[in-house]
């Protein structure tokens, strides 16, 4: 077998030397403050059973989709799931993708055209950045969550571009914070722009039954496209782009990450549908998540832990500068039984290294208090 080129081997060795080499973790029995399984649906027996029963009732015995959805992979469960998701999110249509990464790359690589401009938050997810790179449109970033900076860019570019797209997230994965979406939606309307919002970390967390922050704020009608992903709050896999029926048709015809890949197998689509139904019907689970979030915030304040970035989401980050220090404290928490991960530079900017706490409906108040007391002692 051929060896890795020396230039690539040097990059690996340099990362290892600096203590930044990524490796796949093994399963852990620690108390989970690391995963995005906000509602605990990844191990929910009711979802598993309902998905199995749905396949049996539909007489569907298949381990794979057999091909692209445009060829042989568009099984009947797709229509049922997409119709349900569109209705749940008060959208005209929904189009399923194999992952959130595929959805964002597919959208941003084909929708903005050469004469268009994309204005995006500087902390936007890597999948959106990659999609923009594949696009022929011009793109400019604005300071994180800075509405004034966005307005200045709009004033500069709206008269020159055929279309202007504004891209942001409702909850940012590395900070857990949220932009002023109402103000951004007003700007998009005033400047006649297309607003695109990634709701990956808002689905299952915000709304009256987990619909997301866009619906909670009542601005769904002002958004051109929403991306909802299912590997977080729904505890499964896949994603959907919500928007007009014409947008759905355009993506089916031009989104390469949709066209040139085998579709999701029937059991994946059945799990997505059943996870949505479980989330919609089990309001107690959603209310417990909100209670846990509020208890975490209150306890952190009581303990004087001022390192936390302000967040009302399920993601709470304590900024602890330097890779050495944040990694050391994370290891201490893990030894005490809490699975908390350090986020180190260059994943985040140098000096803003942090511990990332992901809250779930299935952790207890006692466990929340325990991990925060442990953090205070370590600091």
> What counts of helices (H) and strands (E) characterise the chain?
14, 12
- Distance (Å, whole) CA 222 – CA 90: 12
Q: Tell me, yes or no, whether 235 lies in a domain.
A: yes
pLDDT of residue 228 exceeding 90, the answer is yes
Domain end residue (candidates: 214, 247, 281): 281
Residues 228 and 369 in one domain: no
Considering the chain, what percentage of its residues have pLDDT values greater than 70?
100
Are 268 and 302 part of one and the same domain? Answer: no
Residue 105, phi then psi, degrees to nearest 5 = -60, -45
Say which range, 23-27, 85-89, 168-172, 177-181, has the weakest mean pLDDT: 23-27
User: Exposed e or buried b for every residue in 236-256, given b needs 16+ CB within 10 A?
Assistant: bbbbbbbbeeebbebbeeebe
Beta bridge partners of 243: 93
For residues 294 and 279, give the distance between their C-alpha atoms in angstroms, rounded to a whole number: 20
Q: Is 258 contained in some domain?
A: yes
Picking from 160, 150, 164, 189, the residue whose alpha carbon sits closest to that of residue 113 is: 164
Would you tell me how many other CB atoms lie within 10 Å of the CB of residue 224?
Answer: 18
DSSP structure class, residue 221: G
- Average pLDDT (44-67) is 91
Q: Give the pLDDT of residue 260.
A: 97
E strand or H helix that includes residue 331: helix 323-335
- pLDDT score recorded for residue 26: 77
Question: How far is Cα 343 from Cα 348, in angstroms, rounded to an integer?
Answer: 7
89-147 residue pLDDT tens: 999 999 999 999 999 999 999 999 999 999 999 999 999 999 999 999 999 999 999 99
- pLDDT digits over 19-46, tens only? 778 887 777 789 999 999 999 999 999 9
Q: Residue 355's closest CA among 372, 367, 377?
A: 372
The mean pLDDT value of the chain amounts to 95
Return the pLDDT at 269.
Answer: 97
Q: What pLDDT does 347 receive?
A: 85
Average pLDDT over residues 285-295: 95
Dump pLDDT digits (tens) for 148-162. Answer: 999 999 999 999 999
Q: Is residue 260 part of a domain?
A: yes
pLDDT one-digit tens code per residue, 343-365:
998 888 899 999 999 999 999 99
Task: Based on the fold, state whether residues 271 and 308 are members of the same structural domain.
Answer: no
Angle at alpha carbon of residue 97, lines to 348 and 210, rounded to 5°: 70
Specify the CATH number for the domain of residue 161: 3.40.640.10
275/291 same-domain check: no
Q: Do 136 and 121 fall into the same domain?
A: yes
Same domain, 107 and 71: yes
Which strands sit side by side in the sheet containing 194-198, from one edge to the other? 93-97, 239-243, 225-229, 194-198, 164-169, 117-121, 138-142
- Domains in the chain, number: 2
**Per-residue tokens: 171:** 């909850």
Name 43's Cβ contacts closer than 8 Å, sequence gap at least 6. Answer: 37, 235
The pLDDT value recorded for residue 105 is 98
pLDDT band at 59 (very low <50, low <70, confident <90, very high): confident
Mean local confidence (pLDDT), 185-204: 97
The neighbour count for residue 101, using CB atoms within 10 Å, is 19
pLDDT for the residue 17: 83
Look up the domain containing 367 and give its range. Answer: 283-378
Structure token pair of residue 269: 């689509």
Residue 10 within a domain: no
Two tokens, residue 176: 């857990």
Q: Are residues 239 and 298 in the same domain?
A: no
Q: What is the pLDDT of residue 308?
A: 95
Q: What is the pLDDT of residues 240-262, one digit of tens each?
A: 999 999 999 999 999 999 999 99
Please indicate, yes or no, whether residues 269 and 295 belong to a single structural domain of this protein. Answer: no
At residue 370, does pLDDT exceed 90? yes
pLDDT at 2: 86
Within-domain flag for 36: no
**What sections of 58-141 are H helices per DSSP?**
76-88, 100-110, 126-134
- The residue among 281, 298, 330 that closes a domain is 281
The burial of 163, by beta-carbon neighbours within 10 Å (0-12 exposed, 13-18 middle, 19 or more buried), is given as middle
Beta strands per DSSP E along the chain: 31-32, 93-97, 117-121, 138-142, 164-169, 194-198, 225-229, 239-243, 315-319, 338-339, 341-343, 354-358
Question: Among 56-60, 165-169, 198-202, which is the least confidently predicted range?
Answer: 56-60
Task: Say how far apart CA 285 and CA 235 lie, in whole Å.
Answer: 13
Same domain, 277 and 317: no
Burial of 370 (0-12, 13-18, 19+ CB in 10 A): middle
Domain boundary among the residues 227, 256, 281 is at 281
pTM equals 0.94
Q: Extract the tokens encoding 34.
A: 């690391």
Q: Grade residue 299 by pLDDT with cuts at 50, 70 and 90.
A: very high
């Amino acid at each position: 077998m051929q060896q890795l080129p020396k230039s690539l081997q040097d990059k690996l060795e340099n990362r290892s030397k600096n203590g930044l080499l990524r490796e796949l973790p093994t399963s852990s029995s620690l108390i989970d403050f690391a995963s995005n399984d906000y509602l605990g649906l990844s191990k929910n027996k009711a979802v598993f059973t309902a998905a199995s029963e749905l396949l049996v009732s539909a007489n569907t015995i298949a381990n794979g989709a057999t091909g692209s959805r445009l060829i042989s992979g568009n099984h009947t469960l797709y229509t049922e799931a997409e119709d349900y998701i569109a209705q749940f999110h008060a959208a005209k249509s929904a189009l399923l993708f194999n992952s959130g990464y595929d959805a964002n790359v597919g959208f941003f690589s084909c929708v903005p055209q050469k004469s268009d401009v994309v204005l995006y938050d500087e902390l936007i997810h890597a999948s959106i950045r990659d999609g923009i790179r594949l696009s022929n449109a011009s793109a400019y970033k604005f300071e994180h969550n800075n509405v004034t900076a966005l307005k200045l860019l709009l004033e500069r570019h709206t008269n020159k571009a055929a279309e202007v797209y504004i891209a942001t997230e409702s909850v940012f994965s590395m900070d857990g914070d949220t932009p002023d979406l109402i103000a951004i939606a007003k700007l998009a309307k005033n400047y006649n722009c297309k607003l695109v919002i990634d709701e990956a970390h808002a689905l299952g967390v915000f709304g009256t039954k987990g619909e997301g922050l866009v619906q909670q704020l009542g601005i769904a009608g002002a958004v051109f496209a929403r991306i909802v992903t299912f590997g977080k709050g729904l505890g499964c896999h896949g994603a959907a782009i919500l928007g007009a029926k014409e947008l759905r048709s355009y993506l089916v015809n031009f989104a390469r990450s949709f066209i040139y890949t085998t579709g999701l197998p029937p059991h994946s689509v059945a799990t997505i549908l059943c996870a949505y139904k479980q989330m919609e019907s089990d309001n107690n689970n959603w209310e417990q998540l909100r209670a846990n979030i509020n208890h975490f915030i209150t306890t952190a304040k009581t303990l004087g832990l001022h390192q936390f970035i302000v967040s009302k989401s399920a993601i709470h980050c304590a900024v602890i500068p330097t890779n050495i220090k944040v990694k050391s404290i994370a290891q201490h928490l893990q030894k005490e039984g809490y699975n908390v991960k350090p986020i180190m530079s260059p994943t985040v900017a140098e000096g803003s290294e942090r511990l990332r706490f992901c809250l779930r409906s299935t952790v207890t108040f006692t466990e929340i208090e325990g991990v925060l007391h442990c953090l205070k002692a370590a600091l």
